[in-house]
Structure 1
Amino acid sequence: MLSLLTTTLHALSIYGLQCEHKTNPIGIDAQKPRLSWKLRGDDPGLMQAAYAIQVATDPDFKKSNLVWDTGKITSGASVLLPYEGKALASGQRYYWRVKVWSNQGKVSDWSAPAFWEMGLLRADDWQAKWIEPVQVEEKDGPAYLLRKAFQLKGKIARARAYVSARGLYEFFLNGQQVGNQVFTPGWTAYDDHIQYQVYDVTDLLVRGDNAVGLHLGDGWFRGAMGWMDNWGLYGKRVGVIAQIEITYENGQRDMILTDGSWTGTSEGPIRMNSIYNGETYDARMEPTGWSRPGFDDQNWQPVTVAGHSKSNLIGAVSVPVQQVEELAPDTIFRTPSGTLVADFGQNLVGWVRLKVAGKAGTTVTIRHAEVLDKEGEFYTANLRAAKATLVYTLKGGATEVYEPSFTFMGFRYIAVEGFPGELKPENVTAVVIHSAMEPTGTFECSDSLINQLQHNIVWGQKGNFLDVPTDCPQRDERLGWTGDAQAFCRTAAFNMDVAAFFTKWLKDLHADQLENGGVPFVIPDVLRNNGVSAGWGDAATIIPWDLYQVYGDTSLLSVQYPSMKAYVEYIREQAGDALMWKGGSVFGDWLFYKPHGNNHTAPDGYTDPDMIATMFFAYSAHLLSQAAGVLGKTEEEMEYRAVYEAVKAIFQKAYVTPSGRIASDSQTAYVLALQFGLLPEPLRAKAAAHLVDDIRRRKNHLSTGFLGTPYLCHVLSDHGYTEVAYDLLLQKSYPSWLYPVTMGATTIWERWDGQRPDSTFQDVGMNSFNHYAYGAIGDWMYRVVAGIELLEPGYRKIRIQPQPDARLGYAKASLDSPYGRIASGWSLMAGELVLNVAIPPNTTAVIELPNANLSAVEADGGPLLSHSDFSNVQQVNEAVTFEAVPGAYEFRYRYE
């Protein structure tokens, strides 16, 4: 009894079960889905010694229903373990659970069951046909309603619906909208693959009469995308495919399929739908009960069966876009010119839910804006051609509630015209939407401006991670610019779980990669101009490597490796025997600080584009070599390492002087050369000093653009200039990260001076106030200020390395890693540093205490040297370093 009591005092349990980076996903296409879990327990130093997995077709895990039973496996692995059981069947739900044994000899109970459900694994599993309503092939046209009535002959035990569209769809059964996703089926490289969604509709169907309805809009598929005349790029006609599979309690099965028996109409309430321009909705045209049984559709027209391929249909890889939160207006007021405006206090992405009562035929118009101009007027010039307008016509009678179906806006302010009566806060609600990624990180410090900066970074990510990593959410663009994505990827992975999000987008990148290996400016490639630019195309190598580092996802690295290699080979071909990528940089160091001096001076902060291209050539070859090494491709690892070294030598010869000066003599030139390891060791310190000299000459201001900014503070802290990095972080005047904060920004701006100190605006042709690239400073805040760094992929081994600055009283951060919560937080008061650290089970950590004397450090109230959970304790110059097992620790010492 005593031993049992001892065992249960410190419970060992399992949580966070995921399949393919998702919790209980439905519609998995992977033939060998990968499973992950986390450990929880009170014992210090908790590690997994062994595990067992069971997978069954029944949640009771009866032996007859088991399809995989590993038995006890001696291993500490708990992240992305591939299923190795019997072949998986289309449409089947599989339940799984885990048991673990700890290094202290304890055994957990079986975890609570989790599940995944397979999608339709073969094209011939689709019995449904693509159908298209009668439609006019026109830009910004109406949305379409499609329906079918049907009968079910028995009591329903299970029902699934598989739905996709060439366009965007909303799905209804018996008058009820199905699911909580929006903008389905998502934006993909449609020419290559279109996602479908799977819904459990068991509870929405009844014995007897039923009806199914589909609402179909243009979306990204048929809508005009970008600033060019490219309407209908993927197709001039919208269409839909749906397959409802029903199993009755007696075991019999039935199917309701899209086919020629459906009817459709364009005479619904949405008269215009457009991603950029908004939506026009006439409530008088709502066909009451159109998706319910008994509706009279005799005036609707038969649909056309289309011959589109089903082989390109794939289960949804992406994180679903959902309505995530709602905001009420902070204030409602009139501008000096009399415009009625509601201010939601936050630049956001989504739409407005309107509640209104009035006479039939009354029209309410809602326009959207990110900012007000210096006179306090509603400002929309930066939206360019995007109208971003909702027009709602009342049907009259009781209070009406409207929100759009197939459009979204980027806005903080709305201008309301035609509202009957007094506009009150309860009449307009901002609905925030984005890909519903789980939040994983937190950062906070004693400086309120930096906290607002972190807030802005997170909201910039929310607004621009809408199925693809867009550059901006408000104007006639909203495209998946590759350069922005690669610059921000590591920061994004601190704030939220972006594993599935980027896995999906990289699939699109690979699909839209040019035949010669080049990567277009935007993914999905709607510009179709075959342009490739250094720092943009390198998303093909940088993002897969970053994701491998953060999530330990070797499979993703393997899947993307051909794309990585094709891109490097493209550059290699362009560079030729000279190994210099001339003409490879279209955008240079985009939007660097560049006020022109007199006519005899070059733009300030300018970096030679050919040099940038050559540096990224070297870096991508280096990443490809590392990826080849991880994947066991030894010959290619050596080959691309040699390419990297050869380009590095050419770079030094062409662009570097013996004094460590680099051509262009710009901050970005030094930053990229140092970050990519392109300088010989004797010149690294000299080049770093030149970088610091430039920063000091500018009175502690940066001059970098999209390519140099993400690495700027890292390079400084890596070379002993952390104080200078803090100088930049804490700088409040233009150009700096905090300047927009002082101007009232609630998201990250596209330009350092999107709004000038006199409240006038930058170039109206390109001036987004929600543009996440410069938010990449968040990565340095997590990794250096708070000190959370990885030493092994997936954070299996962690480095805690805070670098405090006396100008901050405290800083703290946390990260929900693949193994559990990591935390590092320090406070500095009266010369004493207090550091609190949390290391999750099944990991190890190296902790580095800066400016510490080993003999004077206290750990958990006693001398560090006598603490049993630490090993390899040593004084290294002015720091104390040691290894730690999982647990929570507090350190105190005099910080000199």
Structure 2
Amino acid sequence: MKKQLLIAGWCILLSTLGATGQVTLQHLLTENLVNPLGINVTATPRFSWQLASSQRNVQQAAWEIKVTAGKTVAWNSGKITSNQSVQVPYAGSALQPATKYSWQVRVWDTSGHVTPWSALASFQTALATPADWKAQWITPGFTEDAADRPAILYRKSFTLPKKVRTATAYLTAHGMYEAQINGKRVGDAYLTPGWTSYNKRLQYQAYDVTPLLVNGPNAIGVTVGNGWYRGYLAWSGNKNSWGSDAALLMQLVITYTDGSTKNFITDSTWRTSTGPIRYDEIYHGETVDTRLEKKGWDSTGFNDAEWSGVQTADFSKEVLVSTYNEPVKKHETFKPIKVLTTPDGKTVLDFGQNLVGWVMVKAKGNSGDSIVIKHAEVLDKYGNFYTENLRAAKATATYILDGKEERTLEPHFTFFGFRYILVEGYPGEINPDNFTAVALYSDMQPTGSFTCSQPLLNQLQHNIQWGQRGNFLDVPTDCPQRDERLGWTGDAQAFSRTATFNFGVNNFFAKWLKDVAADQKADGSVPYVIPNVLGPNAGGSTGWADVCTILPWNMYLAYGDKRILEDQYNSMKAWVGYMQTQSKNDLWQTGFHFGDWLFYRPFDDNDGKAAVTDKYLIAQCFYAHSTQLLVNAAKQLGKTEDAATYGELLQKIKAAFVKEYLTPNGRLVSGTQTAYVLALQFDMLPEALRAQAADRLVQNIKDYRNHLTTGFLGTPYLCHVLNRFGYTDIAYNLLLQETYPSWLYPVKMGATTIWERWDGQKPDSTFQTPGMNSFNHYAYGAIGDWMYRVIAGLDTYEDGPGYKHIKIQPHPGGNLTNAAATLQTYYGTVSSGWTINGTDITLDAEIPANTTADIYLPASSESTITESGIALSAQKDVQVTTTSDDQYVVIKAGSGKYHFVISARK
């Protein structure tokens, strides 16, 4: 008996030991999403998974995928020899529309071990063709109030005679919509159907509404507001950009437990009216009169006899596309940190964070009491509520009470950029507990973190991330508080690489890039804003239009997503073609350009060093850069002829630049920081003249007492260029500069987001010109890319994009004693963190399974390095490859956690 117990004990022990190193599978994604609804049927869905193991050097050797629809096998791949675990394309039988599929995967590692089958993941396909839409577009059967245009209520009662197995609602609108079934909200998305170029691409959403339905009578209620479709956009009273209607399209697909199906659709039998939302505009806010609520209107038993009918409309279904990017949702909430009485006697609440969203307010009062909430980003130098920088935007929420029970009120079809609210008309004493600010932004998953020993840099990182949160509402907006909120292309391209670190923006940008291509003109010119609401001639500016080449390439580097290159390739090629047609002898010197937008221009600069960079010099640099990226994309996509053709063009563009803008001694005709940064970043200069150009850049910085002078186009590359040419110390000086102009100046002034201008608020607490002075404008947050990739040293190689091949090369400096970055990739967690202890430095790194890394250890000799307490030369888990310039020892490593100590560091 004892012998049997002993054997059993050993078996348990061995099993436990084996389990600790066992490879398991986790985080299954379809099209970068967890169990998505509404996958495009006509595109091949792609699957991703992560390998998890406590062992080092774990690599996948093969995989097998099974996909089923119910009991039907749609794809059984068999064992496929491949190390690909990200975006593996489906290769089974044709997918059916409106169908739920399940899938699972198992893998073999390079030691020959096979994992158990993963847990099941799922995806549901969308409607495949316009013919699959049985629903009809409907519009109100009454004449709308043309001035205020109250939100439209649509309702329909129906009966379910049998038990429901599954039910999916497909919904879209001209405007914004919110839907309820039997009095319960459909989904948790806001500002739907999102913002696209509606005349070319109108998204619809799919919702699993099975839990909301009951046997017998049911009711649907949908509210439609103005939204981007017909609301005010841009300036000069522009509205109805895509139409003046507030139409609805809905299809509810029911599958009963007996296998039969039924569609409940929008058609002529629906009823319509207006309700409590009397006014809604994105810029101006919302007015809700609770006295006009129609209680129970979205539930069964409601008498809609006095409601109007609807009209059916023949709006296009050809433009309908399923939604695969993350919708806007509610996220963080904030309570007021202060209740202020301003010097001019106003009641103001401070939420402590500049955010985008709205305020939920609890209130009870007399019928007709009106609560008015106004929004602002800042207080003026005297402490008064400041809204002049909102320009024409009223940014006001108004609630008229019905005199009944206490209730919580919030807007529906608008959003605000604010830290402070001014409250008027609130019944009774202000209680901070009755006010909650809610952040709204696209439901991107947080992916990156950066921390270091300098608190101001940590606050800068906070500000960068909150600038992204506030401006990534379905499109990358430029300023979420004033009468603009447009998808400016220049801002997006400048920030895009930083954006990929902070949040998972693969789908976010893939969706927006489709609108870039849709709104691109036939001659290849790209509009200033996407979706384009500024007119057919507002396009073609260098550094803005280049979003169509820069952004796809950055997404490819960050995520390894080749489909973005495939989808955007024609757009990339068209933009380079446009620049070709605008050029003479390969030199582009025509057209309007924003140039190095909002660069620093000292008012007392009389020595000829003002930071005004020739706009055509900038244009030539970006002409070359976009052509280079087109060559890169062509090579990745196997378009060898294009790669050769545009490679030749690139050499001509650079030769024309040298002839026009460079003196024989290597001086640029514009001696600005931006001119030298762009020329060096994009390799516009002959190699022999680059070092002296970098010297000139450094001298310019020193002439400005270690301050930057760059604007939107030069800033993203400034510190990268300095680091590349051996001036990391100068880059640190710029980053850590605390006086204007600098990244830390706004931090010292109390900013909680990134400012549009280097001096949005001046040292004397007065403001820059209110005509253009946003305090939440992410472009200058592009420095985050340098912090992550250079300070912490966390990067990816082009030969293994998406962190399949990882580069870790930290650059200690700036009197920092530690810095660390962590990133959630499709393969898992990758991290790099260093700490200085006297003359020693430690480097901790984590490499996910199924990837490899080159790790640069800041040491002159491997003899000074240990890993996990073992001399590097004796550590079998890593391979020393080279010593780089007597500054780094370079090793190759597979997955695992590593702890390096470099002793007696110089």
Q: Identify the TM-score tier after normalising by the shorter chain.
A: over 0.9
C-alpha distance in 2 between matches for 1:343 and 1:106: 58
3-state secondary structure, aligned to 2:824: strand
- Asked if 1:53 corresponds to 2:65, the answer is yes
C-alpha distance in 1 between matches for 2:15 and 2:764: 72
Choose which of 266, 284, 288 in structure 1 pairs with 2:295. Answer: 288
**Mapping for residues 519-530 of structure 1, pairs under 5 Å:** 519-530=526-537
**Any stretches of 5+ residues in structure 1 without a counterpart?**
59-63
C-alpha distance in 2 between matches for 1:393 and 1:518: 48
Offset, 1:664: 1.0
Offset, 1:596: 3.2
The answer to whether the 8 A contact 1:49-1:75 is kept is yes
The answer to whether the 8 A contact 2:842-2:899 is kept is yes
3-state secondary structure, aligned to 1:15: strand
1:773 maps to which residue? 779
C-alpha distance in 1 between matches for 2:196 and 2:814: 48
What is the TM-score normalised by the length of structure 2? 0.97
- Asked if 1:201 corresponds to 2:209, the answer is yes
C-alpha distance in 1 between matches for 2:405 and 2:868: 65
Choose which of 6, 10, 17 in structure 1 pairs with 2:21. Answer: 10
The answer to whether the 8 A contact 1:139-1:223 is kept is no
Offset, 1:872: 3.9
1:599-627 Cα offsets, whole Å, 9 max, x none, are x6668211000111111111101100110
The answer to whether the 8 A contact 2:448-2:824 is kept is yes
Of residues 311-320 and 511-520 in structure 1, the stretch that sits farther from structure 2 once superposed is 311-320
2:636 maps to which residue? 630
C-alpha distance in 2 between matches for 1:139 and 1:251: 49
The one-letter amino acid of 1:750's match is E
Measured at CA, do residues 568 and 851 of structure 1 come closer, stay the same or move farther in structure 2, by a change above 3 Å? Answer: same
3-state secondary structure, aligned to 1:765: helix
2:617 maps to which residue? 611
The one-letter amino acid of 1:19's match is T
Of residues 850-859 and 330-339 in structure 1, the stretch that sits farther from structure 2 once superposed is 850-859
The one-letter amino acid of 1:57's match is A
3-state secondary structure, aligned to 1:272: strand
Offset, 1:853: 2.3
Measured at CA, do residues 557 and 424 of structure 1 come closer, stay the same or move farther in structure 2, by a change above 3 Å? Answer: same
Offset, 1:153: 0.9
Measured at CA, do residues 298 and 11 of structure 1 come closer, stay the same or move farther in structure 2, by a change above 3 Å? Answer: same
Choose which of 891, 902, 905 in structure 2 pairs with 1:882. Answer: 891
1:259 maps to which residue? 267
C-alpha distance in 2 between matches for 1:135 and 1:401: 31
Offset, 1:632: 0.5
C-alpha distance in 1 between matches for 2:83 and 2:719: 36
C-alpha distance in 1 between matches for 2:24 and 2:491: 40
2:3 maps to which residue? none
**Mapping for residues 149-548 of structure 1, pairs under 5 Å:** 149-266=157-274, 268-531=275-538, 532-548=540-556
2:38 maps to which residue? 27
Offset, 1:397: 2.2
1:895 maps to which residue? 905
The answer to whether the 8 A contact 1:211-1:291 is kept is yes
The answer to whether the 8 A contact 1:516-1:570 is kept is yes
C-alpha distance in 2 between matches for 1:601 and 1:263: 72
Offset, 1:91: 0.6
Measured at CA, do residues 334 and 11 of structure 1 come closer, stay the same or move farther in structure 2, by a change above 3 Å? Answer: same
The answer to whether the 8 A contact 2:729-2:814 is kept is no
The one-letter amino acid of 1:87's match is A
3-state secondary structure, aligned to 1:416: strand
Offset, 1:139: 5.5
Offset, 1:368: 0.1
3-state secondary structure, aligned to 2:583: helix
3-state secondary structure, aligned to 1:627: helix
CA RMSD between the two structures: 1.3
C-alpha distance in 1 between matches for 2:728 and 2:607: 31
Offset, 1:852: 3.3
1:763 maps to which residue? 769
3-state secondary structure, aligned to 1:619: helix
C-alpha distance in 2 between matches for 1:496 and 1:140: 38
Offset, 1:471: 0.3
The one-letter amino acid of 2:787's match is M
C-alpha distance in 2 between matches for 1:516 and 1:137: 41
3-state secondary structure, aligned to 1:621: helix
C-alpha distance in 2 between matches for 1:9 and 1:813: 27
Offset, 1:595: 2.6
Offset, 1:806: 5.3
Measured at CA, do residues 850 and 120 of structure 1 come closer, stay the same or move farther in structure 2, by a change above 3 Å? Answer: same
The answer to whether the 8 A contact 1:139-1:224 is kept is no
The answer to whether the 8 A contact 2:852-2:893 is kept is yes
Offset, 1:586: 1.7
What is the TM-score normalised by the length of structure 1? 0.98
C-alpha distance in 2 between matches for 1:156 and 1:539: 47
The answer to whether the 8 A contact 1:137-1:236 is kept is no
Measured at CA, do residues 5 and 236 of structure 1 come closer, stay the same or move farther in structure 2, by a change above 3 Å? Answer: closer
The one-letter amino acid of 2:889's match is V
Sequence identity, in percent?
A: 51
2:8 maps to which residue? none
C-alpha distance in 2 between matches for 1:787 and 1:584: 40
2:744 maps to which residue? 738
The answer to whether the 8 A contact 1:440-1:495 is kept is yes
1:65 maps to which residue? 72
The answer to whether the 8 A contact 1:596-1:604 is kept is no
1:277-310 Cα offsets, whole Å, 9 max, x none, are 0001100000000011111111111111000011
1:61 maps to which residue? none
The one-letter amino acid of 2:897's match is A
Choose which of 115, 118, 142 in structure 1 pairs with 2:150. Answer: 142
C-alpha distance in 1 between matches for 2:102 and 2:181: 27
C-alpha distance in 1 between matches for 2:16 and 2:755: 58
C-alpha distance in 2 between matches for 1:768 and 1:659: 42
The answer to whether the 8 A contact 1:692-1:724 is kept is yes
1:189-215 Cα offsets, whole Å, 9 max, x none, are 101010001111111111111111110
3-state secondary structure, aligned to 1:115: strand
- Asked if 1:677 corresponds to 2:688, the answer is no
The answer to whether the 8 A contact 2:609-2:672 is kept is no
2:4 maps to which residue? none
Offset, 1:799: 0.8
C-alpha distance in 2 between matches for 1:253 and 1:396: 46
The one-letter amino acid of 2:727's match is Y
**Mapping for residues 99-110 of structure 1, pairs under 5 Å:** 99-110=106-117
**Mapping for residues 810-889 of structure 1, pairs under 5 Å:** 810-878=818-886, 879-889=888-898
C-alpha distance in 2 between matches for 1:372 and 1:831: 47
The one-letter amino acid of 1:201's match is V
Offset, 1:9: 3.9
The answer to whether the 8 A contact 1:263-1:302 is kept is yes
C-alpha distance in 1 between matches for 2:535 and 2:360: 36
C-alpha distance in 1 between matches for 2:884 and 2:201: 54
Choose which of 794, 799, 802 in structure 1 pairs with 2:807. Answer: 799
C-alpha distance in 1 between matches for 2:609 and 2:484: 27
- Asked if 1:646 corresponds to 2:652, the answer is yes
Offset, 1:30: 4.3
The answer to whether the 8 A contact 1:585-1:612 is kept is no
The answer to whether the 8 A contact 2:558-2:802 is kept is yes
The answer to whether the 8 A contact 1:139-1:231 is kept is no
1:697 maps to which residue? 703
The answer to whether the 8 A contact 2:152-2:246 is kept is no
